[in-house]
Every structure is written in structure tokens, then in C-alpha cells.
Structure 1
Amino acid sequence: MARDGWDTRRLPDLSGRRYLITGSTRGLGYFASEQLVAAGAHVIMTGRHPKRLAAAHAAVERRVTDAAADDWSPEPGTVETLLLDTSNFGSIRAAAATARARGPLHGVLLNAGIVHPPKQRQTAGGHELVFATNVLGHFSLAGELLQNLAVVGGRMVWLGSMSTAMGATDPTDPELVEGYTPWRAYVQSKVATTVLGLEADRRLRAAGVPASSVVAHPGYSISGRSPGVRGVNEPARFKRFVDNLQTPISQSKQSGAHSLVRALVDPEIEGGQFVGPRFIVHGTPRRATPVRLTRDPALGARLWEYCENATRVRWPFEKAARARRRFR
């Protein structure tokens, strides 16, 4: 058990609670889905590819049912799937409309993202692909689903990264019109998600919205050290060999998901907090401190305005503040 009482092996009973997770077909999103369903939650798994979504859905049901038969777990939860591409604003609007119609959400895990950018640098809408996928898409989705969270006092969790502690700089050029490199695009996107996650909580509090925003990072989590899951995680033998050489400084994606899940469901985690592995690259999840740059309210306000203009989404703070009263 963790020093502060959180046990990753025994989550609270999440029966009756509903969560939406972006990027559920691989890695952290998949294992977070599995952990939530094992604790009794209903999870909406999202992804871009129908076949991958179907494979991930089947894997969760298979693995959770098998584990529940031999474990302490409560009655397993349920799963549904939803097509969603966070780099495409049209896809986001369509998925959000479907999710809104399906009822309240106790949590949204804004996990989907690109780590290694492909050759294509821009989306069809003209935005830099990494920033659009990791940042703009999630900003838009969180705003679209805000009322569904507010009616039950739900929580959004933004995915940060330990890379922000490795020379992060002020993203004055968010989409890297100048000086683009794949690594810079990734790190800058994670600076932005952390900044926006903290800024979102400031604005939710100021508007009296009964929802919270938290940031979590998974440490150095790699697929070669993760359990093999048919159709989800099937690294080649050489990949396993190389990744296992990094054992002292890494952990599995399954373990990395523990920080995300804790940030999503632990009632002792408060809005505006930052959660990550105890030893930064690995370990039991705990409260941590994001890098100083990301805590700057002025930077938060500037990035918020940029995202509003880029996505044409204005978060419905006033409606969300009233949503819980109407729901009751």
C-alpha cells in the first residue's frame, strides 16, 4: 500500500460511475479502461479505428472477467465504444453529441495523443498535428462535455509528461510555425496540456462549476514491459528485449495507468493537483508538483485564449454552474 493509503490493487468500488477515456485502444488508455471496469465502472472507450476499438473492447471484457473469477474484485463494470479522433474537430463534435445524450459522466480521461509524429505535420484543418491531437482536441472535447461532468460533480484529467521537466520553455509559438522538431512538438504539447489542466480548474472554481480538473503523468511507461494483450499490446521479441534493458528507469503501461486512474477516481485528489509516480519515472502514484512554468496563470490565460480561437469552442461555464441544480 502507498504511504498515503492509496492501493493500486484495490480501487474504490466504482459501481454506478461512468467514465470516458480517449485513446483507449492502446497503451495507457487501454490499461486505464481495464482497471476502471475491474472496479465496477462503466467505461466509454474511444479511438479512431473501429477494428482496434472492437479488439480493445473484447480484451477488456475477457481479461476483467477472467481476473474477477479468481480475485477480490467487485462485480465487473461494463464497456461501450465510441469513434473519436481528437485531431479532427468534426469527429469531436459528433462524438461529444453522442456522449452527451448518454448521460452524466463522473470522469473524462484526456489521454489520446501522439508521441512520435508521423511525416504529415498538419491536420486537414491546417493545425500542427501533435498540438491538434494532444491539446486542441482535448480542449474542445472537455468543453463539449463540461455539463455532463458538472451534473454529478465529475472530474477531467489531462495527460501531462515528465518531459516537461526536461527543458520546457514558454510556448510562444504553440503550433511551431518556426523551429519545428518532433521532440519539441511533443514536449510543447505536454507543457500546454499541463498549463490548460491547471487553468481549467482555476476557471471552474471562479465560475462556481461543480467539476474539477487534474493533471497526471505516467512516468516512463513502455510497451515492452507491459502485459501482452491480443489485439492491443503485442510487442515483438526484440522490442521486449530492448525495453527490459531499461527496467531500472521504466515501468509498464499498466503501471503507468495507475497515476491516471488515481487522478480520475481518488476522492482525496483535489482540483488543480498534479499526480505522478513516486520516483518520477516509475512507482506508486502520488501528489507531485508540476514545473514552475506550467503554474503561471498569465501563461494559462494566454493559452486558453489561443485554444478558444483555434477551436471556436467557448466552455459553457454559466450553464455548467446551473447544471447540477437542474439535475437534482
Structure 2
Amino acid sequence: MGWQAPNMDGRTIAVTGASSGIGLWITLLLARAGADVVLLCRDTRRGERVATALRDEVRGASARVVRIDTSDLTSAREAGAALARLPRLDALVNNAGLVGGPARREVSADGHELTLATNALGHLALTHEVLESLERSSGRVVWMGSMSAKLVRPAPDDLELEHGYSPWRAYAQSKLVTHALGFELHRRLAARGSTVRSLVAHPGYSLPALAPSAGTLFTPPRPTALDRLQYPWAQGIDRGALPAVYAATAPEALSGQFHGPRGGLRGEPALSGGVAGVEGAGSHGTGGPGRRSVDPVVGAAVWSFATRACGLT
């Protein structure tokens, strides 16, 4: 049967981008494990439909919807304040992401490059709002990474890509920033003796067409010719959700670690690297986070930039 999440009865876990794609499967797997799930999504009407379907699919599931637009810092802060009012919060999965960005550079409501704002900055603002709640439950923050982060050399003086923008570069650089933020948060939490864990996970090479049906909650799309060409090295998004679920729930998953499919592209969730000082530290091979991601100099620089961008300094 492969790895399954431990019993999460009585735990509350929030997931951004929970109404579609990998985020939907993360939410479903957490609900199956017994967690009370919070669907953080931009379209609340769609979110409510997904929450209803989730309750139909998982008997006794507890699901609520909170609106967030991660490209908008005000929306992220408001969603964080709503989470902070919950009786408890055990984990936050920062999953929402813009993959296919605009052909030409666009900016968010706050004036930041849109893909960076959506994938990284909004999640940092959200995380900042809920850290006290997570501290009370010795909780976790899981940042959704990507292997694409290893394929780009960061432009430290141009993380907003005012020069040399392309949709692919914007996505890959935003994921490198996401990795660096997750690992730098670990360093800062550890330095102050916090019990909160900050981990990064990635889904490998995952396709919707390879995932199974899940009642009215999810129906896989008809595979395209391109999908079929990718089958030998791909897995379903249901499997791609597993590393994030593992990072959010497994007792042995430690702060500062990086988790992904065992084979890099697909497979059971496995420890694939991490920052210096934690078990499995390094930037191992195909499935690892990449050496820049775990570099403390990069982490400190990205943190300084991102906290200024989010108005946290």
C-alpha cells in the first residue's frame, strides 16, 4: 500500500491552493488521516464546493474555507489572522502557486513581480501571521518547492526580474526563493529554541491524468498525447502530494529537511536533503533541493529581501 499518513485526529492543518491540483490531494489525504482541514483558496465558491465534496468522500471530515489570494499581501495577512483565531493550528502547507505565469512581466497589487508574489511573498506574510499559533501546538510549516529551483541561477539584485523576465525564469526563481525562505525560517526558529518545524517538500514529476478518481472530488482529465509521452517518468498528482503530507505529519520529519519522491521524479516520500546540522543534510542528486537552496548566505539574502518586500522589517 505504500506510505500513509499517521492518525491526525484532533489536529488542524491549513493548505493553500487547496481547491485544485496537488493542493486538493494534499487536503484529501490529510482529511483521510483524520485532520480538520482548512482550505485556503482564492475562489471561495469553488472552495465550498470542494469542501462539500470532501465531506461526501471522507465520512466525518471537518473542512472549512478561508479566502486567500497569495499574490496580495493584505489578503495573506487577513487569512493568517483568520487562522490565528482558530482554537489550534498544527500545520500550514504553503502549496498555492502560479506555474504558467504571464508572457510579459506583471506586478501584483503590492507592486511585486506576480509569480514571485504568488508563490513566495504571500506565503511568507501568511506564515508570519500564524507563527504564534503554531508555537502553541509545536506545529509545522511546509513550503512547496520544485526541482526547477535547481535550474536557475538567482539574480540577487533582481529577484523581481525587472530585467530578463521570462515565465519559466519567474517560476524557477520563485521556487528557489521558496526553498531559501523555508530553510532560513528553520535556522531562525532553531536559533531561538522554537518548537515549530519549517520543512520544504517537492512533488516530483506529477500529472493529473495519472491520478485516480475520488468520488465527485476529483476526476482525472483525459490524457493528452504529451501526457502519454511523459508516463515513463511521471506519477499522479495524488502521489505528488505525498511528500508534503509526509513533511506535515510524519513524526520523523525534522525541521530543515527537504522531502520528495524517493526516485527524484516519482516514488514514495523520502528524505532528499536539508540544511547543515540536520539529518540528511545536503543537496543530494536529482531529487535534492540544490546547493543554492541550502546555502545560508543565499538564505539570509533572500530573507532580507522578502521581509522588506512584505513589510515585516
What is the TM-score of this pair, normalised by structure 2? 0.90
Amino acid at match of 1:185: A
Matched, 1:264 2:258: no
* Unmatched runs of 5 consecutive residues or more in structure 1: 2-6, 66-75, 315-328
How far has the Cα of 1:230 moved from its partner?
A: 7.3
Q: Secondary structure at the match of 2:160?
A: coil
Amino acid at match of 1:139: L
- Which has the larger share of helix? 1
Which residue in 1 is equivalent to 2:176? 191
CA contact (8 A) 2:13 2:92 kept: yes
Q: Secondary structure at the match of 1:145?
A: helix
Which residue in 1 is equivalent to 2:279? none
* Unmatched runs of 5 consecutive residues or more in structure 2: 274-288
Q: How do 1:108-123 and structure 2 match up within 5 A?
A: 108-119=92-103, 121-123=106-108
Render the CA deviation track for 1:41-78: whole Å, top value 9, x for unaligned. Answer: 1010110002210221122112223xxxxxxxxxx441
Change (3 A) 1:235 1:14: closer
CA contact (8 A) 2:5 2:245 kept: no
CA contact (8 A) 1:52 1:232 kept: no
Which residue in 2 is equivalent to 1:302? 301
1:80 maps to which of 44, 64, 69: 64
CA–CA separation in structure 1 for the residues paired with 2:61 and 2:35: 5
Q: Secondary structure at the match of 2:66?
A: strand
Change (3 A) 1:169 1:273: same
Which residue in 2 is equivalent to 1:285? 269
CA–CA separation in structure 2 for the residues paired with 1:235 and 1:107: 28
Stretch moving more, 117-126 or 76-85: 117-126
Q: How many residues align?
A: 296
RMSD: 1.7
Render the CA deviation track for 1:186-228: whole Å, top value 9, x for unaligned. Answer: 0001111111111100000101222010000000111122234
Render the CA deviation track for 1:272-314: whole Å, top value 9, x for unaligned. Answer: 0000001111100100022111111111111111111111125
CA–CA separation in structure 1 for the residues paired with 2:187 and 2:14: 22
Render the CA deviation track for 1:240-269: whole Å, top value 9, x for unaligned. Answer: 553233211111111100111001100101
CA–CA separation in structure 2 for the residues paired with 1:228 and 1:114: 24
Q: Secondary structure at the match of 2:154?
A: coil
How far has the Cα of 1:148 moved from its partner?
A: 0.6
Q: How do 1:192-211 and structure 2 match up within 5 A?
A: 192-211=177-196
Q: Secondary structure at the match of 1:138?
A: helix
CA contact (8 A) 2:7 2:33 kept: yes
Amino acid at match of 1:304: W
Amino acid at match of 1:272: G
Change (3 A) 1:77 1:311: same
CA–CA separation in structure 1 for the residues paired with 2:216 and 2:308: 38
Amino acid at match of 2:294: R
What is the TM-score of this pair, normalised by structure 1? 0.86
Change (3 A) 1:244 1:51: farther
Render the CA deviation track for 1:142-191: whole Å, top value 9, x for unaligned. Answer: 111100100010000001101123x3213311110100010000000111
CA–CA separation in structure 1 for the residues paired with 2:22 and 2:81: 25
Which residue in 2 is equivalent to 1:58? 52
Render the CA deviation track for 1:11-43: whole Å, top value 9, x for unaligned. Answer: 211100110100001011110110111111101
Amino acid at match of 1:263: A
Which residue in 2 is equivalent to 1:320? none
Matched, 1:34 2:19: no
CA–CA separation in structure 1 for the residues paired with 2:6 and 2:220: 31
CA contact (8 A) 1:215 1:275 kept: yes
